[in-house]
Amino acid sequence: MGLPGRGLAGGLATTFRTMTRRSITQQYPDVSPDLPPRTRGVIALLEENCTVCMLCARECPDWCIYIDSHKETLPATTEGGRERTRNVLDRFAIDFSLCMYCGICIEACPFDALFWSPEFEYAELDIRELVHERDRLALWMDTVPPPPPLDPGAEEAKEIAAARKAVAAPAPTGDRHGEGAAR
């Protein structure tokens, strides 16, 4: 059997010990939280990259991505060539009242049109306002952080290596057409 009051003394000792430590509470909203770079706050749309392939909407487990589009016919660029059709985006919306922030749409997009933004301050009093249409999704792009640097020793992405090589390649010497015109 222990000494009487031992538990109380132990409790008071813990209280005094923690009283002297600095508090780690973040005073949100007066102080913005320091969020990790991969925070899943809201999804941003880079509309220029979207080809309306519909993969994101098909893969979304919650069916909360709404896409409408129509086809547009482009005239042939060469004589005797064929006309081409392309998809034109009419609507792109995400319902964040249904979204479970799984990130599958971002992973599934083959054209880098969707990104995570760490922004999370978009609560609404009316749940219908949580459907973000394409204009609002595009505005979130300004808040998407740059990609984190590669790990030391990691291999550079093929696209970046090819672009770097193209820039470093010496410019062609002499313009054959120009030379012909000068003669």
Given 42, 56, 93, 144, the residue binding ligand SF4 (CB under 6 A): 56
Prior bond of 36 cis (ω within 30°):
no
| Nearest distance from C-beta of residue 23 to ligand SF4, angstroms | 34
- Using CB under 6 A, which residues numbered 68 to 107 contact ligand SF4? 94, 99-105
Query: How does 120-144 read in b/e, with b if 16+ C-beta sit within 10 Å?
Result: eeeeeeeeeebbbebebbbebeeeb
138 binds ligand SF4, rule: CB under 6 A: no
| Nearest distance from C-beta of residue 102 to ligand SF4, angstroms | 4
141 binds ligand SF4, rule: CB under 6 A: no
137 binds ligand SF4, rule: CB under 6 A: no
Stretch in the footprint of ligand SF4 (CB under 6 A) among 1-9, 58-66, 131-139, 170-178: 58-66
Residue 46, Cβ density class (10 Å: 0-12 exposed, 13-18 middle, ≥19 buried): middle
Given 42, 64, 137, 144, the residue binding ligand SF4 (CB under 6 A): 64
Q: Which residues bind ligand SF4 (CB under 6 A)?
A: 50-56, 60-62, 64-65, 67, 94, 99-105, 108-109, 111, 113-114
